[in-house]
Amino acid sequence: MALSLRQRLKDSRLVSAPGVFDMISLKLADSMGFELLYMTGYGTVASLLGLPDAGLATYTDMVGRVAAMAGMAKTPLIADGDTGYGGLLNVRHTVRGYETAGAAGIQLEDQEFPKKCGHTPGRRVIPAEDMVRKIEVAVESRRSDDFLIIARTDARSSLGLDEALRRAQLYAKAGADLLFIESPENEDEMRRIGGSFEVPLVANMVERGRTPLMTRPQLESLGFRLAIFPTAGFLAAAAAMERVYAAIRDTGSSAPVVEELYDFNRFNKLIGFEDVWAFDRSHAD
């Protein structure tokens, strides 16, 4: 029998989850044998709205993306739920909506609304007691214990690591399944976080962000169980598209960079045209 995601995250082996932000990134990552996918709020808001991850996307915007991605994926998907999009009643609605949409779990954070991306300045947090109540509501609102509640604190950057650790302990007692201390700034802080909890821990690996980028063995040795890579996919896509678009602008053609492109026939298969062709054959006159 296959392990549940909850059971798997108790293992000392790290789960590495790539960030998916649109249906193409979802289809590609889902085909590659990952154990878990992570729907990044930053990337999804940028892809869907062309706006920064600054509390501008609504619950309706995001739950629609959760339903589309989780409905298409064979791989479990954890989704960013920001602050829960309001007060306690909103948190209940958000948790139930994400679970119904097919997510395997939701990430909730203790920022003030409107929130900001965790590796950008200006983040402020709500009182810890208010976040404890949000987590308690999230836990009691889910229909299945297999739906995971990730509690994130952004207190490190504004209030210091001691306060972030204190909050995480409270969130664990409130019933969070995983703890996510955002933006530790060096390996010593990562080590201290890793040695402070029995609850599985999330490491947020943002390339050139505030937290050092670490390898699987490093993160495992520090005690982390889940590493998310929310920005890697859309940063890679943006870099590749910039090169190709520059070639078209400068030379009038994509010919100079054609060898860098994903094969068109492979992409047809990735996106599902083989099923369309088979359907057409079976219903041909």
Does 110 lie in the same domain as 184? Answer: yes
One domain, residues 225 and 243: no
Looking at residue 125, its pLDDT comes to 94
pLDDT value at position 119? 62
pLDDT at position 236 = 97
- CATH number of the domain at 161, please: 3.20.20.60
Query: What average pLDDT does range 123-129 have in this prediction?
Result: 92
pLDDT over 50 at 1, yes or no: no
Q: CB-side exposure of 9: number of CA atoms within 13 Å?
A: 28
Residues 56 and 181 in one domain: yes
Collapse the DSSP code of 227 into the 3-class scheme (helix H, G, I; strand E, B; otherwise coil) and give the result.
Answer: strand
Q: Are residues 193 and 246 in the same domain?
A: no
Q: Are residues 249 and 225 in the same domain?
A: no
Residues 195 and 265 in one domain: no
Q: What is the pLDDT of residue 62?
A: 97
Q: pTM to 2 decimals?
A: 0.94
Q: What is the distance between the alpha carbons of residues 178 and 161, in angstroms, rounded to a whole number? A: 18
Q: What is the pLDDT of residues 67-120, one digit of tens each?
A: 999 999 999 999 999 999 999 999 999 999 999 999 999 999 999 877 766 566
Residue 138 shares a structural domain with residue 263:
no
Residue 147 sits in the same domain as residue 207: yes
Sign for the CA dihedral angle at 57, 52, 149, 20 comes to positive
Q: Identify whether residues 104 and 59 lie together within a single domain.
A: yes
Whether 203 contacts 230, CB under 8 Å: no
pLDDT tens digits for 159-180?
Answer: 999 999 999 999 999 999 999 9
Provide the domain limits for residue 264.
238-282
Give the pLDDT band of residue 4 (cuts 50, 70, 90): confident
Residues 169 and 273 in one domain: no
Q: Give per-residue pLDDT as tens, 226-269.
A: 999 999 999 999 999 999 999 999 999 999 999 999 999 999 99
Same domain, 186 and 262: no
Same domain (yes/no): 54, 187: yes
190-223 tens-digit pLDDT: 999 999 999 999 999 999 999 999 999 999 999 9
Domain count, the chain: 2
Question: What is the C-alpha separation between 225 and 223, in angstroms, rounded?
Answer: 7
Higher pLDDT, 285 or 5: 5
Among candidates 175, 100, 194, which has minimal Cα distance to 134?
Answer: 175
